Amino acid sequence: MAAVTQRIGEIRDWVAALLCPNWRWMSLIAGSMFLFETIRVAEPSQAILGIASSLLAFLFFWVASRPEQPLWYAELWNRVPAPLKWPGWRGMLTMILLINSYYTILGHISDLFTGNYHTDAISYIHEDADLLLQGRNPFTADDAFWTACLRWPNASATPLLGSKLFGNNPADYPSFKKTIAAQTAEALNPALRSNNFDPGIVHNYPAGIIWLALPFIWAGLPSMIWLNLILFAVMVGIILARAPREERWPLGLALVAAPAFLDRGLFINFDVDCLVFALAAWNWLDKRVTSAILFGVACAVKQLAWFIAPFYLLEVARRYGWREALGRGGIAAAAFVLPNLPFIIASPRAWFHSVMIPLTDPNFPMGNGPIMLAAKGIIPFGSSHFWLALVVIVLGAFLLLQWKRPSITSDGLLLSLVPLWFSWRSPMNYFNLIPVFAAWIAVTHIMAQRTKAVEPPHHEALEEPSTEITLPEDLPPVASSEPQLAGVR
C-alpha cells in the first residue's frame, strides 16, 4: 500500500510539474495565451486590447528565449501578491489553453477528410496542384480562380480596395457573406465580372508549395492539410530532439498549448510548410550546403521567408564571414529557383507577376497590429506605402541590432517576423509560429550552456610556497546570482 501511495504521489508531482513548468516554458504558455486573446478580440472596436495583447505575447516569447531569466522579470514576479503565486493558477491556465486547442482541432478535424477549406490560401494551392496533374501551367491559369470559387464556396477570396463593388473606404472591409456572394455570382455569370477580385491570386505563391502539396493531391486525399500536420510534427520534433531529455515533456506541452496557431494556422493556412524549412536551416546552420538549401526551399514555398532571409544571411556572415554568407546566398537562390524554373521558363512574366501579387494588389488593410488603430479611427490610414516603409524601417532597425550586438545569437529567427506586425496587412498567421521559434532559441541556449560547462579544477599541493597569485585558465563558471521566480519550477 505504501508503494502505491508513493507511486500516486510521484504521478501527481509529475503532472503538477508538467502543467506548471519552469519560468521559461511558463512564459511560452503565457505568450500563447495573449496570442489567443489577440485573435479573440480582433475587431476594430477592441483595437487597444488587441494591440496590447499581441505586444504582451511578443514580450513573453522574448523572455522565454533569453539565455537566462531576466532580472527585471524575476523582480516583477517577487512583487506579485502571494495568493496569486499559487502554482495551481498557472496549471489552470495551461489546462484552459489545452482545452481550447482540443476544441479548435475538434472543430476542424472533419476538414482533413472532406477538404472543406475555409480560406483561399489553402484552396488555391489544391487547385494549382490539380492543374499541374492535368499538365497545365498554374501560373497562367487565371480561369482556375472561378473554378476554385465554386469548388470551395466557403473559402473567401481577397476583395480589392477601390473596386466597383467594394469601394474605396479602407475602413469598410467587406464582410465574409458579401465577399462569398460576390465571388459565387461572378463565377456563375461571367458578365458580372469586374475589378472586384484579381483572378491571379489563384497562383500568387511560389511553386514550392505546389510541389509539396502535389503528392497528397495525386494520392487522392481530399485535403492538403495533411501536409501541414506532418510538417508541424517535424517542426516540433526538431526542437524536442535538440532539447534535454528532462525538458521534452513540458516543452512539448507548451508547444501544443497554442490554440491561436491551430485556429489561424494549421487548418486555414500553410505558413508552417514554409517556416519549418527556415527553422531547419537554423538548426543545421553548421552544415553549409544543407542549411542553405533548406532556407532556399523556405523561400520557394511562401514569400514570408523572404523577410527572414536578411537575418539568416547576417547570422551566417557574423559566424563564418561575409564570403560564406555570399556563397550560401547563392546556394539558397538556386534552391529557390529550381522548383520555380519550369514555370519561369514557360512564362517568366506570368510567374513574376504572380509571386508579386501579395505586394502589388490594392488590398484592404487588416490585421492585428497598429493598423487596427486606423480601422478604429484613432489614426489615419494614410497610404499602404507608408506602412510598407514602416515595416522596412523596423526590419532595418532589428538587422542593425543583430549586427551591432556583441554576442552572436539566433534571435534573428524570432525578430524577423515582428516587423510585419506594422504592415498594412498583418494577419495572425504571420505570427502564430513565433512561440515555436522562441522555443528553439531557448533550447539552443540551454544546450550551449551545458556544452560550455566545465568541472571545477583539481587543486594540487604546491611544492614550494609562493606569494604570487596565479589564476587558472580553466576557472569553473560562476554561479548566477540572478533571482529565480519563487514557486516556479
Query: What are 413-434's pLDDT values in tens digits?
Result: 999 999 999 999 998 889 999 9
> pLDDT band for position 149 (50/70/90)?
very high
**Buried b / exposed e along 449-487 (16+ C-beta atoms within 10 A):** eeeeeeeeeeeeeeeeeeeeeeeeeeeeeeeeeeeebee
Q: Is the pLDDT of residue 482 over 70?
A: no
> pLDDT band for position 5 (50/70/90)?
confident
Query: Do β-strands 425-426 and 366-367 pair in parallel, antiparallel, or remain unpaired?
Result: parallel
Integer Cα distance of 33 and 31 in angstroms? 5
- pLDDT value of position 409: 85
- pLDDT value of position 457: 52
- pLDDT value of position 456: 54
Closest Cα partner for 38 from 53, 56, 59, 60? 53
Averaged pLDDT, 192-200: 94
Cβ atoms of 256 and 98 closer than 8 Å? yes
- pLDDT value of position 362: 94
Q: What is the pTM of this model?
A: 0.88
Contacts of 164 (CB under 8 A, 6+ apart): 194, 195, 196
* For the ranges 101-105, 137-141, 465-469, the one whose mean pLDDT is highest: 137-141
Question: Per residue in 229-274, pLDDT tens?
Answer: 999 999 999 999 999 998 999 999 999 998 988 888 888 899 999 9
Lowest mean pLDDT among 59-68, 112-121, 152-161, 197-206: 112-121
Sequence letter at residue 355: V
Averaged pLDDT, 65-85: 92
Q: Is the pLDDT of residue 350 over 60?
A: yes
To which residue does cell 511558463 refer? 26
- pLDDT value of position 102: 92
Integer Cα distance of 235 and 277 in angstroms? 9
- pLDDT value of position 448: 86
- What's the distance, CA 240 to chain centroid? 17
- pLDDT value of position 110: 87
- pLDDT value of position 453: 65
3-class secondary structure for 455-480? CCCCCCCCCCCCCCCCCCCCCCCCCC
- pLDDT value of position 57: 95
Question: Per residue in 283-316, pLDDT tens?
Answer: 999 999 999 999 999 999 999 999 999 999 999 9
- Quote the percentage of the chain above a pLDDT of 90: 72
Question: Per residue in 356-381, pLDDT tens?
Answer: 998 899 999 998 899 999 998 899 99
* Average pLDDT score over the chain: 88
Q: Is the pLDDT of residue 27 over 50?
A: yes
Q: Is the pLDDT of residue 489 over 50?
A: no
Q: How far is CA 154 from CA 25, 111, 149, 262, 337, in A?
A: 37, 12, 8, 19, 33
- What's the distance, CA 131 to chain centroid? 29
- Quote the percentage of the chain above a pLDDT of 70: 92
Averaged pLDDT, 108-131: 91
> pLDDT band for position 12 (50/70/90)?
confident
Q: Is the pLDDT of residue 112 over 90?
A: no
Contacts of 296 (CB under 8 A, 6+ apart): 331, 332, 333, 334, 335, 336
Residue length of the chain: 489
Q: What are the DSSP calls for 254-277, one per residue?
A: HHH--HHHIIIIITT--HHHHHHH
Q: Is the pLDDT of residue 397 over 70?
A: yes
Q: Is the pLDDT of residue 488 over 60?
A: no
